[in-house]
Structure 1
Amino acid sequence: MTGAAEAVLLADDRASSFTRHAARTRADGLVLLRFEDARADMSAQYLDETAHLPAFWIRRGAPLRAEARRYLDWIHRQPLRPTRFCNPSEPRQEIAQRFAGLVGLPHLAPWQVRWVRNKADMKDKFRELGLRTAAYAHVRAAGDVTRFAAAHGWPVVLKPVDSFACVDTYLLREPADFGRVDLAARHWMVEEHLGGTEWEACALILDGEVLDVWPSAMPCRPLDIVEGAMNANISVASGPGPACDVRGAVRRIVRGMGLDHGYLHMEFFEIDGRMYAGEVGVRMAGCEIAANHGHAYGFDVFGATLDVYAGRRPALEYGERRCVGDLLLPLPGTGTVTALTSEEELLRLPGVIAAALRTSPGERVAARRASHNSSGHVHVEGATSAEVERRMRHVLDVFRIEVATHTEAAPAPSP
């Protein structure tokens, strides 16, 4: 790697593999930016793990300009003063980037935030850059959706323009499906439902240059995942990958959006070898997708990402190439966990190289309709994505979790 790393202010609204890695390995160059309204999403264990790091909390409901002034006063008294900024959170993108601007750190401009957060503005920008997309339109009433479907066919995809992880995103197959959606509270859009194969790709950017691009296969589409399909992503370092020019599309987006540095994650469809741009985010990929790339290419993906945000060029020296995917383990309901396959049992299964559970018997859990809903995850390796997928389905056959809902009587504890 080249260049001296600068201290980073890292937005932190939840525990993740990336933030844990940063806390373990970059403590001498890291300050955390936290949000009081996200405190409930951070366990006591995670707060204890990161207690060695200086952390500034944005107060709930406080004007952001006032919080920025308070931060500047606070950081002046700290031994470490960040000159760079990293926000790995999709839902915090607007507030985090605005805060970084108010305290004088490199950040996305408001129009860049719109391009990577507002899904309609995003598709407008894709088309301006010469990329194909699904047909789409803003909608405010059920009639807008049915008129769009009359022009483009059923099914259609209905989503809030600022959604993430498929939260409040629906596949409508006929007008009757529309009854479950309330359009009053948010801004919505409707999209043509595309066929073909849905892919993902991640990239690192420094000084406006795309350093590398890593594609991922998705055995099941996100909209199928929230309805119960297998929840997995597979980094295809040993192929086969998409046939279309993924690197070229990423470069076009980086140039067209004026992106200087960061981690880019995008989703796209491939139909007869042609790419249709879906969505793009300038932040760490969700679930364990980034970790897949590290395992698949044999390098420290989190360290490389932190280097980029610290203004330093990572080496990107790869080891053995293979396919590695993350399989999110199911969380079947809200209640108390009464039975759960252990991490040790999971690690004995073919291809499983890592396992992490988010709960244990006796704990309360809350399931939600979102593509990151899970009780934990495993990483599974194989020579091809097909082999990884077969091994993932075997994990699901073996994995057991039982949740007693509030209407069920949980078994009495053993004496």
Structure 2
Amino acid sequence: MTGAEVLLMVDDRPSTFTRYAARELSGRLVLLRFAETAQDLPEEYLVETAHLPAFWVREGVPAEEEAKRYREWAAGLPVPPTRFCNPSEPRQAAAQRFAGLAGLPHLTGPQVTLVRDKAAMKQRFRELGLRTAEFARVRSAGEIGRFAGRHGWPLVLKPVDSFACVDTHRLSGPGDLTGIDLGARRWMVEEHLGGTEWEVCALILDGEVLDAWPSAMPCRPLDIVDGAMNANISVGTGEGPPVDLRALVQRIVTGMGIDHGYAHMEFFLIDGEVYAGEIGLRLAGCEIPANHGHAYGFDVFGATLAVYLGRRPELDYRERRCAGDLLLPLPGSGRIRRITSREEILAMPGVVDAVLKVGAGDPVTARRASHNASGYAHVVGRSVGEVEARMREVLDRFAIEVVPEREADAVPL
């Protein structure tokens, strides 16, 4: 990549995108790290990125004070950052506020609310003329029951600022509320929609949606957290939804005043009608962006960095196929006794890349979240159906055994 501008990027966990940026933007990348997420940055990753300047935001210190300290620190760099990128959903509010205080391009407070508060988001969707599921903010079981009385069971209960289905529940009746602390977070409910759920990712520059790429989901996210196959398939062929996706995302981008970035959206198609689900202004989770690169044969991460650096990327597609990321299961917490090797996974039909995040002997902690996984494999094919069939074959052949810590201590691994 060329160009002199330097990018300040939030770095609160290792990801394919941040690793790509660390390789490609050496000398033009500065990392912004938050002390409260230090435990999410493994030592080997800190070593891997030690060549990059990194500013640590201290915990418990006023943002204004930290931004002032940052500006003084950045002034000592060969070239201070002039652009900003936040790929982190949970850090959106704090990161964008920090960028504003640091004098960098950023989302305003109202914009952060629109892309983080799901109730406010859906209200804006409706103001823009889009259909959504019926929804309401709730604080008690009684309010949930009254909503169900109007719209029926099942319904979906979620924190207004959740992501990756964390603390999101499908409720079939009042009894499903057992064990859920409604006082712990700000909650909303929405009707459970049928139809087909799709995803779309888009790149935005100067308020224009440059292109939009659809993804099929073999299983819905709420089914995934309950054990269904965890996969997304970028549809580079003509099998995508019969929807003008660029126009759909453009309506939202214009309505929210978004200038640039990577957007990830979920929507439902019911009897030919689009129902807007949610949108995030950051890279899609799991390995969805990489799917688009495999499906269309282009440098998706380079194109994404370009829009955050204020440059128009060349979207030169050299491929048209389907490509998906299959998250490999992590069946429980404890210690891994055995796991299928990367080499074995790469030898399976359609697999073009595979990453194992853990190995035999490693301690692991499973979470009820859509990104819970022991690793992932990228699988390609001529159609959505072929990719899905190949993914199921990978799952049939993939083996992982996790034993409780006490058992692992008693029996040699």
- Inter-CA distance 13–409: structure 2 relative to 1 (3 Å threshold): closer
* Aligned counterparts of 2:161 and 2:4: Cα–Cα separation in 1: 33
* Aligned counterparts of 1:296 and 1:180: Cα–Cα separation in 2: 42
Matched, 1:370 2:369: yes
> Residue type matched to 1:241 in 2?
G
TM alignment of 1:35-50, pairs within 5 A? 35-50=34-49
Q: For 2:137, what is the secondary structure of its paired residue?
A: strand
TM alignment of 1:179-328, pairs within 5 A? 179-328=178-327
Q: For 1:408, what is the secondary structure of its paired residue?
A: helix
**Deviation of 1:236 (Å):** 0.2
* Aligned counterparts of 1:158 and 1:77: Cα–Cα separation in 2: 48
Q: For 1:280, what is the secondary structure of its paired residue?
A: strand
Query: Does structure 2 retain, via aligned residues, the 8 Å contact 1:235–1:323?
Result: yes
Query: What 5-or-longer segments of structure 2 have no aligned partner?
Result: none
* Aligned counterparts of 2:409 and 2:251: Cα–Cα separation in 1: 55
TM alignment of 1:15-414, pairs within 5 A? 15-410=14-409, 412-413=411-412
Query: What 5-or-longer segments of structure 1 have no aligned partner?
Result: none
* Aligned counterparts of 1:5 and 1:325: Cα–Cα separation in 2: 34
TM-score, normalised to structure 2, is: 0.98
> Residue type matched to 1:297 in 2?
Y
**Deviation of 1:100 (Å):** 0.2
- 1:47-82 Cα distance to aligned partner (Å, 9 max, x none): 111111000000111111111011011111111211
**Deviation of 1:274 (Å):** 0.9
| Larger deviation, residues 86-95 vs 30-39 | 30-39
* Aligned counterparts of 1:316 and 1:411: Cα–Cα separation in 2: 55
**Deviation of 1:5 (Å):** 5.2
- 1:8-59 Cα distance to aligned partner (Å, 9 max, x none): 1000100000000000111121100001111111111111111110000001
Query: Does structure 2 retain, via aligned residues, the 8 Å contact 1:231–1:371?
Result: yes
Query: Does structure 2 retain, via aligned residues, the 8 Å contact 1:5–1:310?
Result: no
Q: Percent identity?
A: 66
**Deviation of 1:408 (Å):** 2.7
* Aligned counterparts of 1:375 and 1:61: Cα–Cα separation in 2: 33
> Residue type matched to 1:262 in 2?
G
* Aligned counterparts of 1:245 and 1:314: Cα–Cα separation in 2: 21
Q: How many residues align?
A: 413
* Aligned counterparts of 2:315 and 2:295: Cα–Cα separation in 1: 13
**Deviation of 1:302 (Å):** 0.3
* Aligned counterparts of 2:242 and 2:316: Cα–Cα separation in 1: 24
**Deviation of 1:248 (Å):** 1.4
Q: For 1:180, what is the secondary structure of its paired residue?
A: coil
* Aligned counterparts of 2:208 and 2:337: Cα–Cα separation in 1: 50
* Aligned counterparts of 1:98 and 1:155: Cα–Cα separation in 2: 37
Q: For 2:361, what is the secondary structure of its paired residue?
A: coil
**Deviation of 1:267 (Å):** 0.4
* Aligned counterparts of 2:399 and 2:79: Cα–Cα separation in 1: 46
**Deviation of 1:178 (Å):** 1.1
What is the alpha-carbon root mean square deviation over aligned residues? Answer: 1.2
* Aligned counterparts of 1:324 and 1:80: Cα–Cα separation in 2: 38
Query: Does structure 2 retain, via aligned residues, the 8 Å contact 1:338–1:411?
Result: no
* Aligned counterparts of 1:347 and 1:30: Cα–Cα separation in 2: 32
Query: Does structure 1 retain, via aligned residues, the 8 Å contact 2:160–2:187?
Result: yes
- Inter-CA distance 390–174: structure 2 relative to 1 (3 Å threshold): same
Query: Does structure 2 retain, via aligned residues, the 8 Å contact 1:338–1:402?
Result: yes
* Aligned counterparts of 2:4 and 2:337: Cα–Cα separation in 1: 47
- 1:295-346 Cα distance to aligned partner (Å, 9 max, x none): 1000000000000000111001010111000000001111111000000000
* Aligned counterparts of 1:161 and 1:137: Cα–Cα separation in 2: 10
**Deviation of 1:378 (Å):** 0.2
* Aligned counterparts of 1:350 and 1:119: Cα–Cα separation in 2: 39
- 1:249-307 Cα distance to aligned partner (Å, 9 max, x none): 10100110011000000000001111100000000111000000001000000000000
